[in-house]
């Protein structure tokens, strides 16, 4: 399903088609060096997953963090990159404190969450939790490029990127920088209000040539803790129906689960601290689907 981007001619990975060997016409020395650094890093990463959503609040960052943790627990080498520049939640969700960034020469070391997972976020660079980032598009693009080029990710099986909601500067930049080598996971809640924004997200992916790994329906039903009955708080099945309508894979449903909120707030991995919870089981299923590369049909 995802492309392994190791090309067969690269200065860095001994392959034959990597574009970083030659300077392009009109490209400055500095731009060439930047592109080489980007290529060098990206060719060491087998799969890039961009986690997108049409709307805020649908659980995109929660999904990105838990997918990254679940992949790392499945033995994969994982990087988690937070480019939600105006609302970075990955440091909190992964329990990693700010101020831990280390530099090696001009490059940044990502922060380790466990043996297989390291993260990088703009949140690590803010002076405090209340500091807003007031940047326009070109500055954001520059930072995203640095996160991809100047962070020592090393060889990875997966780079999971948490992008801000919508189809603005940051998703545009990341799509441009990692391009068609990346696959998008689009997170939605089931109700129509969220679904209509997902249509835009799907069209965005098509326009910027991002392949769609699948739509993931989050907050899909709640199990009553007293009687066990399923309550469809935000309806159910909207993401699945949309995947069918738009002809893209459906990755599964994550139920509403108080454990998700508790572990997210505490910065403790759901799959470690609540592995028996309904949401943890659902995340594990989604990760199995992603690893196996099986497409899940949009059929209910
Ligand atoms: P987004 O990145 O889309 O803005 P977040 O990941 O920040 O959304 O999630 C918003 C809130 O919803 C958080 O408090 C999170 O804990 C909660 N949440 C996300 N997914 C679930 C779920 N499946 N069950 C319960 N709460 C959830």
96 belongs to a structural domain: yes
Confidence label for 4 from pLDDT (cuts 50, 70 and 90): very low
> Which residues 6+ apart lie within 8 Å of 34 measured at CB?
145, 149
| Structural domain range at position 112 | 27-291
- Number of domains into which the chain is organized: 1
259, 264, 267, 286, best to mutate for ligand 1 pocket (most atoms within 8 Å of CB): 264
8 belongs to a structural domain: no
Rounded Cα distance between 188 and 191, Å, is 9
Q: Is 58 in the pocket of ligand 1 (CB under 6 A)?
A: yes
For 177-210, where are the E strands, in sequence order? Answer: 182-188
The pLDDT assigned to 88 comes to 87
The pLDDT assigned to 299 comes to 34
- Per-residue pLDDT of 198-215, as tens digits, reads 998 999 999 998 999 999
The Cα-based distances of 23 to 31, 33, 107, 219 in angstroms read 9, 9, 22, 48
- Per-residue pLDDT of 5-62, as tens digits, reads 444 445 445 554 555 677 888 888 888 888 888 888 888 999 999 999 988 899 999 9
**What would the mean pLDDT of 249-276 be, rounded to a whole number?**
88
**Going by CA atoms, what residue is nearest to atom 19 of ligand 1?**
59
The pLDDT assigned to 136 comes to 67
13 belongs to a structural domain: no
* Residue among 183, 143, 160, 219 nearest 5 (CA): 183
Q: What percentage of residues in the chain have a pLDDT greater than 90?
A: 41
22 belongs to a structural domain: no
Confidence label for 296 from pLDDT (cuts 50, 70 and 90): very low
CA of 58 to the centre of ligand 1 (A): 6
Q: Is 57 in the pocket of ligand 1 (CB under 6 A)?
A: yes
10 belongs to a structural domain: no
Q: Is 38 in the pocket of ligand 1 (CB under 6 A)?
A: no
300 belongs to a structural domain: no
Angle ∠(177,182,185) on CA atoms, nearest 5: 120
**Nearest atom of ligand 1 to the alpha carbon of 220:** 23
Q: Is 59 in the pocket of ligand 1 (CB under 6 A)?
A: yes
* Residue among 271, 269, 279, 272 nearest 95 (CA): 269
Question: What b/e sequence results for 166-176 when a residue is b if at least 16 CB atoms lie within 10 Å of its CB, and e otherwise?
Answer: bbebbbbbbbe
pLDDT of 115 higher than 70: yes
Report the CATH number that the domain containing residue 234 is assigned in CATH: 3.40.50.300
103 belongs to a structural domain: yes
223 belongs to a structural domain: yes
Q: Is 182 helix (H, G, I), strand (E, B) or coil?
A: strand
- Per-residue pLDDT of 51-79, as tens digits, reads 999 888 999 999 999 999 999 999 999 99
The pLDDT assigned to 183 comes to 93
Cα end-to-end distance, the chain, whole Å: 21
Q: Is the pTM of this model over 0.85?
A: yes
- Tell me the DSSP string of 57-100: TSSHHHHHHHHHHHHHHTT--EEEEE--TTS--HHHHTTPPSS-
Phi, psi torsion values for 8, nearest 5 degrees:
-110, 15
**Nearest atom of ligand 1 to the alpha carbon of 65:** 6
CA of 57 to the centre of ligand 1 (A): 6
Q: Is 189 in the pocket of ligand 1 (CB under 6 A)?
A: no
- Per-residue pLDDT of 89-112, as tens digits, reads 899 999 987 666 788 888 999 999
Work out the number of other CB atoms within 10 angstroms of the CB of residue 154: 13
């Amino acid at each position: 399903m995802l492309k392994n981007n190791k090309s067969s001619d690269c200065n860095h990975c001994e392959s034959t088609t990597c574009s970083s060997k030659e300077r392009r016409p009109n490209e400055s020395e500095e731009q060439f060096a930047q592109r080489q650094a980007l290529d060098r890093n990206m060719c060491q990463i087998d799969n890039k997953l961009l986690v997108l959503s049409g709307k805020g609040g649908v659980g995109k960052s929660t999904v990105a963090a838990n997918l990254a943790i679940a992949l790392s627990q499945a033995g994969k080498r994982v990087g988690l990159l937070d480019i939600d520049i105006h609302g970075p939640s990955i440091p909190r969700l992964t329990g990693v404190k700010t101020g831990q960034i280390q530099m090696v020469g001009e490059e940044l070391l990502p922060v380790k969450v466990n043996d297989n997972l390291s993260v990088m976020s703009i949140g690590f660079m803010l002076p405090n939790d209340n500091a807003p980032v007031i940047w326009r598009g070109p500055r954001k693009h520059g930072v995203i490029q640095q996160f991809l080029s100047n962070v020592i990710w090393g060889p990875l099986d997966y780079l999971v990127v948490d992008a801000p909601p919508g189809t603005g500067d940051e998703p545009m930049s990341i799509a441009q920088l990692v391009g068609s080598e990346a696959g998008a996971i689009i997170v939605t809640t089931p109700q129509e209000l969220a679904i209509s924004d997902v249509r835009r997200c799907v069209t965005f992916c098509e326009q910027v040539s991002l392949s769609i790994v699948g739509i993931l329906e989050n907050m899909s039903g709640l199990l009553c803790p007293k009687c066990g009955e399923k309550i469809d708080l935000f309806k159910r099945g909207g993401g699945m129906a949309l995947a069918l309508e738009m002809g893209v894979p459906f990755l599964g449903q994550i139920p509403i689960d108080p454990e998700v909120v508790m572990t997210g707030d505490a910065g403790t991995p759901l799959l470690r601290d609540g592995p028996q919870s309904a949401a943890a089981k659902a995340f594990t299923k989604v990760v199995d689907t992603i690893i196996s590369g099986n497409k899940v049909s949009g059929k209910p």
